[in-house]
Structures are given as structure tokens and as C-alpha cells.
Amino acid sequence: MECHYAPFLYIHVPFCGMRCGFCNLFTRAGGDEATVARYLEALRREAGTVREAIGEVTFGRFAIGGGTPTYLSHSGLETLFEVAEGIMGLDAAKVPTSVEVSPGTVDVEKLSMLVGRGVDRISIGVESFDEAEAAAVYRPQESAEVHHALRSIREAGPRTLNIDLIYGLPGQTVESWLRSVREALRYEPEELYFYPLYVRPLTGLGRSGRSWDDLRLACYREARDLLVGLGYEQVSMRMFRRAGPSESGIVYCCQDDGMVGLGCGARSYTHALHYSTEYAVGAHGVRALIEAYSAREVESFGVASYGRHLDGEDQRRRFVIQSLLQCSGLSLGHYARRFETDLGEDLPELSTLIDLALAERQGDVLALTAAGIERSDVIGPWLYSDAVRRAMEDYEWR
Ligand SMILES: C[S@@+](CC[C@H](N)C(=O)[O-])C[C@H]1O[C@@H](n2cnc3c(N)ncnc32)[C@H](O)[C@@H]1O
Ligand code: SF4
């Protein structure tokens, strides 16, 4: 699908009620009122500088993510909308707007305020409905709290409810995983994200030194078949969408880039430049970066000092990876119009995917087969350029 170019505004909130053992996102557990207030003041300064730099822009989509945005108080959340609307010129009621929440941080009042402000998608991390499974990944979570949060979201009434679940958790079986999937389905979510458990450096699980062989493939296949049988559309290896009216408003295509990220840990993307603040996973590093961000003067936000320039090859590879990992596949016509080069010459290795029956040509589209989609996490990195591979190897986690 080709779509209109309309940039995406993203605000990052790097605070959570807890630090889950699997999570390597840029966030910290806790953060008192004064720390959060200083962060929000810095966010206003950053937004002012960025808005001046980019001028009048009509944003096509808005997301507040983290971390856990709803860790903020009612008035903290209001501040985010003041930044987005008052400073960046967004109209949240007119564009698709999404907010990430966690079970322990929401109630009907907070959620209704968000929906009243124009939020039409609430995404909640549940991970597992089994208390022991959640506890095993250092995510203490009571079942009653999870169900209360889900009922509250439905009561507040955003058009889209998304639920995140993780498979491959320690102690999980295919049966207990499917019980979680079925519990989630009771709320008839418009979207579901199923993540295989990734064990990453410097997270609680990564430091534990355990081995992580598991039932991930069986969990994936069972849940996929269940959802497809119920009429859900598989959008990618991780995402499933319930059949129904599609989102209104301007369609945002991530291949077309154009994301303005605000906040410490937010990433921004243009065609040729990806940049962010510096990144850390360990608690000490994250706190230090948030403190440094909160102390930044207004002028300092005019410069991005951490990022990567994408040359032509990396721009083409990024486009191919992002398209191919969606079940709808890669439009050869779209690629040719965008880059004016020949895909077969640019990435000859794609023919290997066809030879291995991991991808197939359907008219103008090259799409992964079911066997290819379930290997998405191997195929994506396999298509990285040598330069990106080297940069990743050289990256020092902190
Ligand atoms: C920003 S959180 C979602 C909202 C909220 N912070 C929460 O946890 O409820 C992003 C999601 O990424 C997924 N995630 C993060 N790290 C992961 C990992 N190592 N393996 C699998 N999924 C992961 C989880 O499903 C999580 O819900
Ligand atoms: S999974 Fe969510 S709540 Fe847990 S640490 Fe990551 S962002 Fe925070």
C-alpha cells in the first residue's frame, strides 16, 4: 500500500512502576514528582526548539509511549497534550492517537481523560494472565488488577484496544500460553501483539545466566492458528488485527519515515537520518541520561549528537526489511518508484528466500510465506548491510 506522507509525532515517557526482567526499553522504575516535573519541563523546552526548527508541520499520527506514560499523574498527562498540541501544533482529535499503559497505572478517570483528549488506541502490556509466569520475569502483577485495567479501558471506550502478550516465558507451557491468549480474547481486542521472549543484555533476565530453550515456535503456531480461525488478520509475525472498519485519518507508512520523537530515549527518523538521545538499559545509565536531559538548556536541543546517517544502500535495505516483514509484502512497483533501481540487482540474496520457499512472488508483490513469516526475526537481521552489522557488533551496551 502506498500512502500519504504525514509525519508521526512521538513522545517518550521513560518512567515505569517497575522494571520488568525482560525489558530493555529506555525507562526506569520509579521517579518522584520532582524528577518527573523536571523531565516535563525539559520536554517543553525540547518541543519549543524542535518546533522552531521544523516549522509548520501537519502531523498525521501521534503516539505516547515508553516506559509507561500512565505512570504520570492526570496533570502530567495533560502536560504531554499541551506539548503536542500547544507547542507542536498537533490536533489529537483529528489524527490516530495511541497511548501505552500498564495494568497498575490506569483507572477509568485517567483513561476517560485520554479518550476525551482524542486517544483512539490504548495499548496495554499484559504479557501473561498467569501471576506466576509474570512474577518469574520480575513483573509482579495481580490478575485482578489486569482484569480491572482491561474493563476500565473498555469502559473508557477507545476505538482500539491492543493487548501485548509474551510467549516463551519461564515455566510457561503451550497450554498455559493459550489460556492467556483466550483470556485476552474475552475482551475482544481489535489488536494483539504476541512477542517471543527476547533475552537481552543488561536486563534482569539477561544477567541471570539461565539458558532459554523453549516452546516458542509451538506457542506461536498455536496462537496464530487460533486467531486466524477466529477471523483475525495476521499483519506480521507479531501483530494480529480483528476484522472491522479500518482506522480513519491519514494513513502513516513507516517505510516513508518522518518521525519526530521528543523526550529522552525517543528516536527520530528521516529518510537518511536516524537519531535519538544516547541509550542505556542498566538502571544507573538510564537515570544519568534522564538527569542530563532534564538539565539541558533550550539551545542544546537544536543539535542531535547521537545518530546514524543511512546511505542509499541502507535506505533500500530498511525499506525492504520493513515491507517484507509485513504479511502484505513488498510492492516491487513501489520500490522501483521510490529508489529508481532494480531490486534484484540491489538485493540478489532475496532469490534465496524464494528458493527456500520462505518467500513467493504474487504479481507485483514479494511476500514471505507462512514459513518465512515465522522466521521474521532471522530474515530481518540477515538482510542488514555489512556496515550496520559492524556497527551493531561495535555497540557497547550500557
Ligand atoms: C512499553 S511496553 C508496554 C506498556 C507498559 N510499559 C507495560 O509494560 O505494560 C512494550 C512491550 O514490549 C514488549 N517487550 C519488551 N521487551 C520485551 C522482550 N525482551 N521480549 C518480548 N517482549 C518484550 C512487552 O510485550 C511490552 O508490553
Ligand atoms: S515492560 Fe513496560 S512496565 Fe515493564 S519495564 Fe518495560 S516499559 Fe516498563
Answer yes or no: are the C-beta atoms of 91 and 65 closer than 8 Å: no
Q: How far apart are alpha carbons 204 and 33 in whole angstroms?
A: 26
Which of the 8 DSSP states describes residue 247? P
pLDDT of residue 215: 85
Q: How far apart are alpha carbons 70 and 111 in whole angstroms?
A: 9
pLDDT of residue 203: 80
Model pLDDT for residues 171-203, shown as the tens digit of each residue = 999 999 999 999 999 999 999 999 999 887 778
**Residue 2 pLDDT class (50, 70, 90 cuts):** very low
Give the mean model confidence (pLDDT) for residues 325-347.
96
H-state helical runs in the chain? 33-54, 74-81, 108-116, 131-136, 143-156, 174-185, 204-208, 216-229, 283-294, 312-324, 332-339, 343-346, 350-355, 370-373, 376-382, 386-394
CA of 45 to the centre of ligand 2 (A): 26
Domains of the chain with bracketed CATH: 8-242 (3.20.20.70), 312-394 (1.10.10.920)
Other CB atoms within a 10 A radius of the CB of residue 175 amount to 9
Q: How far is CA 148 from the centre of its chain?
A: 24
Residue 243: φ, ψ to 5°: -60, 140
Share the mean pLDDT of the chain: 92
Answer yes or no: are the C-beta atoms of 193 and 239 closer than 8 Å: yes
Residue 359's DSSP bridge partners are 368
CA of 295 to the centre of ligand 2 (A): 25
Give the mean model confidence (pLDDT) for residues 128-157.
97
- pLDDT of residue 4 exceeding 60, the answer is no
Q: Pick from 12, 22, 98, 145 the residue to mutate for probing ligand 1's pocket: most ligand atoms within 8 Å of its CB.
A: 22
- pLDDT of residue 157 exceeding 60, the answer is yes
CA of 347 to the centre of ligand 1 (A): 32
CA of 25 to the centre of ligand 1 (A): 8
Q: Pick from 100, 128, 397 the residue to mutate for probing ligand 1's pocket: most ligand atoms within 8 Å of its CB.
A: 100
pLDDT of residue 251: 43
**Residue 59 pLDDT class (50, 70, 90 cuts):** very high
Percentage above 90 pLDDT, the chain: 84
Residue located nearest, by CA, to atom 14 of ligand 1: 23
Other CB atoms within a 10 A radius of the CB of residue 119 amount to 26
Q: How far apart are alpha carbons 185 and 240 in whole angstroms?
A: 12
Ligand 1 atom at minimum distance from 23 CA: 16
Residue 67: φ, ψ to 5°: 55, -165
Q: Which of 47, 53, 38 is nearest to 10 (CA)?
A: 47
Residue 291's DSSP bridge partners are none
Q: Which of 276, 279, 275, 340 is nearest to 312 (CA)?
A: 340
Percentage above 70 pLDDT, the chain: 94
- pLDDT of residue 1 exceeding 70, the answer is no
pTM comes to 0.94
**Residue 396 pLDDT class (50, 70, 90 cuts):** confident
**Residue 397 pLDDT class (50, 70, 90 cuts):** confident
Model pLDDT for residues 11-29, shown as the tens digit of each residue = 999 999 999 999 999 999 9
Q: How far apart are alpha carbons 80 and 66 in whole angstroms?
A: 13
Model pLDDT for residues 223-275, shown as the tens digit of each residue = 999 999 999 999 999 999 998 765 444 444 544 568 999 999 999 998 899 99
Residue located nearest, by CA, to atom 3 of ligand 2: 16
Answer yes or no: are the C-beta atoms of 152 and 70 closer than 8 Å: no
